[in-house]
Amino acid sequence: MDEDALRAMMPMSFGKSKKAAPKPKPKPEQPPAAPALPSASTSSSVVGATLGNKRPAPSSPPPDAPKTASEPAADDEVDENGLTAADRALNAQLELGGDSDDDDSDDDDTQGRPGSAASALADIKLPPMSHEAVLESHSKSVSALALDPGGARIATGSFDYDLKLWDFGGMDSTLKPFRSFEPAGSYPINDVAFSPHAGGEHLLCISATAAAKVYDRDGTELGTCKKGDPYLRDMRQTKGHVSELTAGAWDPSERGRFMTASSDSTVRFWHLDDLAAGQRDVIVVKSRERGTRTKVTAARYAQEGRILAAAGLDGALHWWDLRANLASKPRGTVERAHESGCGISCITFSRDSNTLVTRGGDETVKLWDRRMFRSPAAVRAGLPSTAMTDVVFSPDEKSVLAGVAAVPLAGESRGSKNNNSNNNNNDDDDADDDGAGATRDTTTGGAICVLSLPNLDEVRRYSISPSSVLRLHWHTRLNQLFATTRAGNIHVFYSPEASVNGALLAVGRKPRQRNPFNVDLSPVDVPADATLPQSNAAKRRRLEKMRADPVASRMPQRPMEGKGKGGRIGAAAMQHVVQNLYRTADDTRSQDPREALLKYAEQAEKDPIYTKVWKETQPKTLYAQDDDDDGDDGDEQKD
């Protein structure tokens, strides 16, 4: 190729040296009466500096800028970007925020800054809280909550002994359950769980008894676990639990297999095919503080079903590899995971099974890494809790949601010291624009707290009700948040735009008409002074209903005969026998001793077999009559 062809292919600037930009020549002096406007380079630099943080350009130059062209700056050299010293000083001042004109109270100034609360909140998926539906059917604390994998059916258990089944497809806007029954008589329900296989075909019920029960999704009983022998000391030799159950869950990896935890310091594994034969395997949780035994308060499978974590009342946290020998020691143990005696109410695994979060009775939430299981990765204190307060991961696993218990209004709250020491940086949440900020009034009631990962920083707090928040469940498919309270309600939070099915099916459906023949049931105009006749049966029903309500009747509730119902303790089976033991015809406890003696007075005079000894020393009967009957008895005795 010749030299001319090569030169044609090269750019025109090839081989030429770059020359430095010529310095601007000083402008002639102007009369001092006419002030000069900022130069084009200054205005362009201001606009370029404000694009990143969305700040408006100032309308006037800063105080340290040159006022007039007749007063040149001390250092007016132009750098390689075409900026003078005054321009660089102005940009630095704007970047530090010292001369910003944004005086509003919003947080657009911190938008996009790394580490700021606004950027952390933008990365976290918040629960849909724009709309709420309340399921009101229980009369006491809702201590158990479960949803099937499809999100069509809910199971709730309570301290009123009832297990209720709800179906969104069959409910209307009245939000009533389609079935309610007592699975364990007068025992509260501690936990319920739908099986993760076949769309939740089985329902596990954990009551305060020693035997768990399995139902189908319609409430038909399928089997009962076998009870153990309470007289055996070795818990491995019994075929079942010997004391109250506390938790239970289905195995995600095997259909029909589930586990139960109890206060007898064991975790037992069962299969639906042989419940009457006893458990298939058992883990004995040993404690160093309670004489080798402790009450297992929480137990949970990992997502793939190969890892199991359990915690006791002594505050210790353990995890086992279910593929190894369960009779050996746990793979990881932290003795002082939470404060001893308070217990751990909930354990939740992440999807990778390496991260778990615990909720303790010491008002803390702790984040753990299973690969470094000696100390928690993060701790959040100052969150009041109960024995059944939950903590769950968000669907994106960038945050966790923790229930907060109610604190009495009178006096200092239980977690006030921790709140003051850990929430000093959350004062700005009081003026939240959606009314969900953590103010002094909302902390006294039940709430849901959103904590960011991995530092467990509080980014949002939603006030739910005056009562404590217990169970939580954020359904991924429905994108709806379920929360239970001690008042007996189930709160369902959803968004019409972001949520699907679930509560949206029920709240928009009108109740079924009770007048299918279109009969006119409009009220008739009745004069105010008119009295309508009322039958005796209607009066009796009205009085019975009023007497059953202690508030309307202003009288205390009467003792319940028979077994308990609705959370009330009934009379024992042999109580009526004990009460009637001494109510016989010859009962001497209810008789007057004076009357019992005087009925033999006439017989003693005729046949003084036993009284002739006192005939000489006491010829007159002293207790023949009362002193009040005759006022002259005193005078006769004196004579």
Highest-confidence segment of 57-61, 192-196, 371-375, 557-561 = 192-196
Same domain, 462 and 599: no
Average pLDDT (114-120) is 50
Name the residue among 166, 262, 126 with its Cα closest to residue 206: 262
Same domain, 503 and 614: no
How far does Cα 311 stand from its chain's mean position? 18
Determine, yes or no, domain membership for 94.
no
DSSP 49: H
Neighbouring-strand partners of residue 258: 250, 270
Determine, yes or no, domain membership for 237.
yes
DSSP 575-617: HHHHHTSS-STT-STTS-HHHHHHTTHHHHHHS-TTTGGGTTT
The reported pLDDT for the residue numbered 121 is 63
Determine, yes or no, domain membership for 167.
yes
Same domain, 602 and 502: no
Determine, yes or no, domain membership for 82.
no
Highest-confidence segment of 21-35, 169-183, 436-450 = 169-183
User: Using an 8 Å Cβ cutoff, are 282 and 296 in contact?
Assistant: no
The answer on pLDDT for 233 being more than 80 is yes
**Helix, strand, coil percentages, rounded to 5, for the chain:** 15, 25, 60
Q: In which domain, by residue range, is 617 found?
A: 595-638
Strands across the sheet containing 355-360: 344-349, 355-360, 364-369, 378-381
Highest-confidence segment of 13-27, 406-420, 595-609 = 595-609
| Amino acid at residue number 544 | E
User: What is the residue whose two structure tokens read 């001793």?
Assistant: 593
The reported pLDDT for the residue numbered 592 is 82
Rounding to the nearest 10 degrees, give the CA dihedral for residues 580, 582, 587, 593: -120
Helix 85-95 crosses helix 40-50 at what angle (to 10 degrees)? 20
Would you place residue 248 in the very low, low, confident or very high pLDDT band (cuts 50, 70, 90)? very high
Same domain, 493 and 620: no
Q: What is the pLDDT of residues 485-536, one digit of tens each?
A: 999 999 999 999 999 999 999 988 888 776 666 666 666 666 666 666 778 8
Please give the residue that has the higher pLDDT: either 559 or 71: 559
Determine, yes or no, domain membership for 99.
no
Q: How far apart are CA 287 and CA 313, in angstroms?
A: 9
DSSP 532-543: ----HHHHHHHH
Q: How far apart are CA 261 and CA 118, in angstroms?
A: 42
Same domain, 461 and 602: no
Determine, yes or no, domain membership for 101.
no
Q: How far apart are CA 191 and CA 300, in angstroms?
A: 12
Would you place residue 252 in the very low, low, confident or very high pLDDT band (cuts 50, 70, 90)? very high
Q: What is the pLDDT of residues 166-204, one digit of tens each?
A: 999 889 889 999 999 999 988 999 999 999 988 899 999
The reported pLDDT for the residue numbered 182 is 93
In the chain, what is the straight-line distance between the N-terminal and C-terminal CA atoms, in Å?
167
How far does Cα 377 stand from its chain's mean position? 23
Determine, yes or no, domain membership for 378.
yes
User: What is the residue whose two structure tokens read 């004489």?
Assistant: 291
Q: How far apart are CA 358 and CA 416, in angstroms?
A: 21
Q: Length of the chain, please? A: 639
Would you place residue 427 in the very low, low, confident or very high pLDDT band (cuts 50, 70, 90)? very low
User: What is the residue whose two structure tokens read 């132009």?
Assistant: 78
What is the phi/psi pair of residue 342, to 5°? -90, -30
Q: How far apart are CA 92 and CA 83, in angstroms?
A: 12
Last residue of a domain, one of 465, 486, 507: 507
DSSP 417: H
Q: How many domains does the chain have?
A: 2
CATH classification of the domain holding 226? 2.130.10.10
Would you place residue 74 in the very low, low, confident or very high pLDDT band (cuts 50, 70, 90)? very low
Same domain, 335 and 215: yes
Q: What is the pLDDT of residues 542-589, one digit of tens each?
A: 888 887 777 777 777 777 777 777 777 777 767 767 766 655 555 666
DSSP 143-183: EEEEE-TTSSEEEEEETTS-EEEEETTT--TT---SEEE-S
Last residue of a domain, one of 507, 539, 563: 507
The reported pLDDT for the residue numbered 134 is 94
Last residue of a domain, one of 507, 526, 547: 507
Determine, yes or no, domain membership for 560.
no
Same domain, 486 and 601: no
Average pLDDT (394-405) is 94
Strands across the sheet containing 469-475: 131-136, 489-494, 480-485, 469-475
The answer on pLDDT for 117 being more than 60 is no
Please give the residue that has the higher pLDDT: either 564 or 327: 327
Cis before residue 454, ω within 30 degrees of 0? yes
